[in-house]
Amino acid sequence: MIPIRLAVIGAGPMGRLHARAISRRAARFGDCVLANVVDRNLASSERLTEEFGGTALDALEACWGEVDGAVVAVPTHLHGEVARPFLERGVDVLVEKPMFSTLSEAREIVRMARTGGRILGVGHVEWFNPRLRDAVHRAGVPRRIEVVRSSPSNRRGLDIDVVQDFMLHDLDWVSRIVRDEIVEIVAWGRAVENEGLDEAEAEISFASGCRTRLRASRVDSGRERKITIEGRHATVEVDLLEEQIDDTPGHTRAREEWSEPLDAEWADFLAACRSRKAPENDGTVGLAALELVERVRRAIKYPGRGSSRDDGPHLRR
């Protein structure tokens, strides 16, 4: 098998995670190779290549003709600027979440990838979280879902608000497992330390009767990642930080070995690159999530108006 040559664009924290995942997969399966790490700060690229291999670069142009796929892990407002030239040159692209800053840019680049026959993936890594998938399976058809996703204040990701940064994960997976039209969104949010929203809460009602409450904060006193799913079979509570699952009326079960979600994301993306079939998290998934982000923002900005059946995305999964 000829390995797929990959470039990591952006040598920050997410770039490092992707470089590690690629290096680990290359060593285990030999179906890919970390060819380049690109960052405007060459010293940052060099730190990653010293640890994980590949060639350190400080300009995208040096990648042309050298890679088959690239992951875009730069700040969100630069995603389009980086993804476009790769797609134009026939390179498959995995874009970190949120896929793009605006819906118009997302639509444009999804269309570009489709027209050019390129694979476009989005880094909604929570979709591959095995603890989450296990909980969904045990609960059965969901009737009520509650999610709390919060962290203390830090200076990362401030080019996007908390709805795009944190809540997007849960807007994505909740809408995809419920698989029904959203009939109403009631939401609240506020800015605390920054110009954009730092805290947000959304209550989402589906045509099936399932009701969800999503809470996200990036200015909390501590870290929390808790999910409760009340389903047809059971009520399941998941603490993603403790890596435990509670079943009612059962007991807490700690799982010692879980597959890494990022590894699963890369396995899916690379399989798509070889088969030329869309990955599970393709561009349309990223676009649908951004449409939901906009609906939540509108509900925050215009309280009391709710959200009709007609103005939301038509979910495909």
* pLDDT beyond 80 at 311: no
pLDDT tens per residue across span 74-99: 999 999 999 999 999 999 999 999 99
Between 271 and 195, the higher pLDDT residue: 271
* pLDDT beyond 60 at 256: no
Between 187 and 246, the higher pLDDT residue: 187
pLDDT of 158 reads: 65
| pLDDT band, very low/low/confident/very high, at 113 (cuts 50, 70, 90) | very high
pLDDT of 134 reads: 93
pLDDT of 240 reads: 87
* pLDDT beyond 60 at 250: no
Query: What domains does the chain contain, in order, with CATH numbers?
Result: 4-125+263-280 (3.40.50.720), 127-258+291-301 (3.30.360.10)
Q: What is the DSSP string of 233-287?
A: S-EEEEETTTTEEEEESS-EEE-S----HHHHHHHHHHHHHHHTS--SSBHHHHH
pLDDT of 303 reads: 86
Long-range contacts of 137-140 (CB under 8 A, 24+ apart): 138/231, 138/233, 138/234, 138/236, 138/245, 138/247, 139/229, 139/230, 139/231, 139/232, 139/233, 139/234, 139/235, 139/236, 140/231, 140/232, 140/233, 140/234
What percent of the chain stands above pLDDT 90? 84
Average pLDDT over residues 228-253: 76
Q: What is the pTM of this model?
A: 0.90
The H or E element that residue 4 is part of is strand 4-9
* pLDDT beyond 60 at 315: no
| pLDDT band, very low/low/confident/very high, at 142 (cuts 50, 70, 90) | very high
* pLDDT beyond 70 at 54: yes
Q: At what angle do helices 261-275 and 13-29 cross, to 10 degrees?
A: 70
pLDDT tens per residue across span 181-219: 999 999 999 998 777 899 999 999 999 999 999 999 999
d(CA 173, CA 171): 6
* pLDDT beyond 90 at 159: no
* pLDDT beyond 90 at 246: no
